[in-house]
Structure 1
Amino acid sequence: MGMGGTASDSATLSWMPVAAMAVVAAADVVAGPGVGFLPLVSLGPAFSGLAGGWRRTALIGSVALVLCVGLGLYDGLFEVRRGFTAMVSVAGVTGAGIAAAVMRSRREAELASVRSIAEVAQRVLLRPVPRTAGPLQAAVSYTSAVAEARIGGDLYEMVASPDGIRVIVGDVQGKGLAAVETAAVVLGAFREAAHDEADLVGLGERLERSVARELEGEKFVTAVLAEIGPDGVVVFLNYGHPAPMVVRQDGAVDFPQPPVYALPLGLGAQGIELLLYTDGVSEARDAGGSFYPLGERADLLKEPDAHRALEALREDLVRHAAGPLHDDAAMLLLRYHGHGEGKSVPIT
């Protein structure tokens, strides 16, 4: 809808110069020379400079000058100075419009270049997770709180290491470019350590050292690390992050919390799906101030296709918020192949 509105606005602005000059010409002919409509012919190049390129603005300005001469002769204004004053006004506005069009064109080219670079950087920072990793399917959803942005302070990554599938979902303090920079530090450290460390505890310790070394001031990151071993055992490390949601074989839902002073958390109960997410999901509020009831929406994940299931959950989250989300909301869904087809292997 936004693109349609932009195209409609551009079409309106493109016709405004011609419409303005037509209205001024008609009014001048009807009202006669005594009213003084002639200088308003300069509205044509003025409007053109708002939306058109410099060539179009120059063309509209030339038409405006011809129209100004025609109306001036019709009104007999060149016998006095009013006709020449009107021509100078049109010429001056045309020149200003051309200059404005040139500067706007340069700014638009620079903005397009910056957006292109930003899109590449976004793809590098939050690159797509593999659709499959061993026996797992994976799907990712990301909704940024910043308009038109694809990334923000939330982060996710999945790495297939010799010791199992390693996953991180995290949330950086704050928003904007500073949060993106911090997310890049965390993801870089995780991608390197996930391949090298033999267990999740070592991975977590190395990640803590890397983040402490790179981050300055009071910046912090909440995160959940997960390791899905070859035997299907899932181990968590939770750094002050919302608990993951586990959907069991019978449809029951659990949010496993780590015991006090005990990290990592070993997940012994069976399940077929694992959803990791940031607090932009669990703390999304509706118009009445109620948090999003994530546990009650687990049935949305029954869709056999992981991507469609996660998209259904994302759409439900947006409907709950009834408007733009006030925080970034990242979700990463893991399930074994065959989920929904009667041949799933449980996560234990």
Structure 2
Amino acid sequence: MNTPAIPAPRHADGAWVGALLAIAVTDVLLGPNVTLLALFAAVPAIAASRTTAHGVVGIGLFTAVIAGLVGLHDRLLGSPEGFLPLLVLGIVTVFSAATARTRTRQQHQLTQVSDVAGAAQQTILGPLPATSGPARIAASYESAANGAQVGGDFYDVTPVRDGVRLVVGDVQGKGLDALSTAATALAAFRESAPISSRLETVGLKMSCALARRGAEDRFVTAVLAELSDDGTLVLVNYGHTAPLVLPAPGGMAEAAPDHPGMPLGLDALGDGRPGRYLRTLAPGDRMLFHTDGLDEARDATGRFYPLATHTDLLRVGTLATGLEALRTDVHRHTAPASPADDSALLLLEYTGRHNASPQRRPGPLLGVTRSACEKCAVTDCPIPPRLRPHHNPTE
């Protein structure tokens, strides 16, 4: 693996150059009766926090030349008063170079860990299609984990016959453990969403996957949604933040369920039935699915981000530019603090009835009956009917 490059701060050169010039000019102005040669040892020490070991050595040598010229001006060269400061400068340069070497190694290791963790996050989430069935889609993810862009928020989209299904979820906790739980929930969604007739069945299989994993100490809030070609929206909510509906003419409405559902993994603690929400979307209507890291973002005084009054940002331009504008506004609200929680955003726009030809794959021998399984988008299915799940032998 190539060692990742670590860019130096823009002010890296200015700090040590400024210190060097300040010492030299001050020494000259004070005259030969006052010497500041000992202060030149601070220059490589300052540089050690901002550049590489080789850079520190070069700066130390350059500083020694300037210190020698100043010592010559003060008529101290060849005397103990001139030799000792230069010796100290050399010793400080050596130790500063060693310190810079250790720091850059640690930064390289941290960068590598961050790159690996980020790659794992992208592998688990994967890129979303810009268009799926009757919807345009864009997503944005931001992690609160220090040193690595990983977390427990997740989303996914899968095409189904006559529409599209999606999930947005939030694992309790942060970091790599939460990422592992999110991977379990996503795997169950991807396996069951294309073949289950009801969203509640998909949620049940996700909950069962968490139970098989033994993640009793973690639960998952999630929203499952299905948008049909005719604009019919079916949404089930497992204790998650309600999505927002943004009608094309204007306004905003919460897609709140008729009753709150228990989070996935906590089904045994109460009524596990998810909350259900139904609506018909018109072409151009948008929906924002998000995790609580968005509306619970706080400013320096503890005030939550006022999402409800900033949804017009999501109507401007494309879906991607809308999400970017919202992220920028949230960062402005929370500055200078860093994100306190993971945040996943998925913005969807209903485009109208989807009339694309069905997805096709190479089929088996001629004469085999072909039809879709449950909600599967692959209508020209290569698997014989008798081998498919949920096969009805009376067909």
Using the size of structure 2 for normalisation, the TM-score is 0.69
Question: Is contact 2:137–2:347 with CA below 8 Å preserved after alignment?
Answer: yes
Secondary structure in structure 2 of the residue aligned to 1:174? coil
Match of 2:17 among 9, 15, 22: 15
CA distance in 2, matches of 1:308, 1:155: 20
CA distance in 1, matches of 2:40, 2:331: 49
Within 5 A, what are the aligned runs for 1:260-339?
Answer: 263=273, 267-272=277-282, 273-284=286-297, 289=303, 292=306, 294=308, 300-303=313-316, 305-315=318-328, 324=337, 326-337=340-351
| Paired position in structure 1 for 2:193 | 194
| Paired position in structure 1 for 2:174 | 175
1:224 offset after TM fit, Å? 0.8
1:184 offset after TM fit, Å? 2.6
| Paired position in structure 2 for 1:102 | 101
Query: In the alignment, is residue 26 of structure 1 matched against residue 9 of structure 2?
Result: no
Question: Is contact 1:14–1:51 with CA below 8 Å preserved after alignment?
Answer: no
1:48 offset after TM fit, Å? 3.1
What letter is aligned with 1:9? Answer: H
Question: Is contact 1:151–1:180 with CA below 8 Å preserved after alignment?
Answer: yes
Question: Is contact 2:224–2:235 with CA below 8 Å preserved after alignment?
Answer: yes
Secondary structure in structure 2 of the residue aligned to 1:156? strand
Deviations 1:198-248 (A, max 9, x none): 432321111111112225342111111112245543322211112233345
CA distance in 2, matches of 1:45, 1:299: 52
Percent of aligned pairs with the same residue?
Answer: 36
Query: In the alignment, is residue 221 of structure 1 matched against residue 232 of structure 2?
Result: no
Farther off after superposition, 308-317 or 229-238: 308-317
Secondary structure in structure 1 of the residue aligned to 2:154? strand
Deviations 1:16-42 (A, max 9, x none): 464255246525xx442x545332232
Unaligned residue ranges in structure 1 (runs of 5+): 1-5, 340-348
Using the size of structure 1 for normalisation, the TM-score is 0.77
1:175 offset after TM fit, Å? 2.7
Farther off after superposition, 65-74 or 209-218: 65-74
CA distance in 1, matches of 2:65, 2:332: 56
CA RMSD across the alignment? 3.6
The alpha-carbon distance between structure 1 residues 13 and 186, as it changes in their structure 2 partners (threshold 3 A), is farther
| Paired position in structure 2 for 1:152 | 151
The alpha-carbon distance between structure 1 residues 109 and 290, as it changes in their structure 2 partners (threshold 3 A), is closer
Question: Is contact 2:139–2:320 with CA below 8 Å preserved after alignment?
Answer: yes
Question: Is contact 1:153–1:180 with CA below 8 Å preserved after alignment?
Answer: yes
1:73 offset after TM fit, Å? 5.9
CA distance in 1, matches of 2:340, 2:114: 23
CA distance in 2, matches of 1:47, 1:323: 26
Question: Is contact 2:35–2:74 with CA below 8 Å preserved after alignment?
Answer: no
The ranges of structure 1 where at least 4 consecutive aligned residues each deviate by more than 6 angstroms after the TM superposition are none
Farther off after superposition, 251-260 or 198-207: 251-260
Deviations 1:253-280 (A, max 9, x none): 3533134769466644322333322223
The alpha-carbon distance between structure 1 residues 242 and 87, as it changes in their structure 2 partners (threshold 3 A), is closer
Question: Is contact 1:238–1:258 with CA below 8 Å preserved after alignment?
Answer: no
| Paired position in structure 1 for 2:41 | 42
1:70 offset after TM fit, Å? 5.3
CA distance in 2, matches of 1:227, 1:219: 26
Question: Is contact 1:171–1:223 with CA below 8 Å preserved after alignment?
Answer: yes
Matched positions, count: 330
